[in-house]
Amino acid sequence: MMKYERYSMITPYLRFIQRNMNKPFSRISMLDYGCGVSDIGLLFSSLGAHVTLCDLDNKRFDFVLKRFTRRGYNPDTVRVVDAEKIPLFPKNNFDIIIATEVFEHVRDPLALLTSLTLALKRNGFLFDSMGGKFERDDRPHHLKEAFKIGQSREYKEYYHSHYRQLLPEKQLKYLFKKII
């Protein structure tokens, strides 16, 4: 059921991206940052996109790789061995970056956002489930310091000077386009 919900949620985004990328999925590079089990990454791989997976180096990450390889996909991987260090990615490398349920779990979301922004190509798409805002409740597994930074003027100004929300309607409210 969870897979169906994720697929149903991402389908309108896929349609929009397909219409607006001006290239086939086979020429799209995508980073799934904090990939978890990477249902979205699998979907992009099945459409021909080149996917890079990034998450904590643990058994779940090994499981994700098995999900990909048993389907014949060969994603690039970035294993995060120290949760306190934000990985550096090649500049202007990705057409799409997926960051679902991530920013509220890192100590410095501005540092992460900056790293991802540098890695995203101009006019690339950022799928951010926080929607550029830290307005959700402060759940026990969310980091208080993440919310403090995420609600700061500096974070908000950086976000809004680098990204434009494309379709604020409820169905596509998490898709942003890099403008700088």
Domain ranges of the chain: 2-178
Alpha carbon distances (Å) from 49 to 16, 54, 116, 122, 172:
15, 16, 18, 18, 21
Q: What is the pTM of this model?
A: 0.90
Beta bridge partners of 96: 30, 125
* pLDDT-flagged residues of the chain (< 70): 1-7, 136-142, 168-171
Cα atoms in the 13 Å half-sphere on the side-chain side of 4: 1
- pLDDT at position 48 is 95
- pLDDT at position 142 is 66
- At 24-57, the pLDDT tens digits run 999 999 999 999 888 889 999 999 999 999 998 8
Say which CATH architecture domain 2-178 belongs to: 3-Layer(aba) Sandwich (3.40)
- pLDDT at position 32 is 96
- pLDDT at position 170 is 60
Q: Are strands 94-99 and 163-165 parallel, antiparallel or unpaired?
A: unpaired
Which strand (E) or helix (H) includes residue 154? Answer: helix 153-162
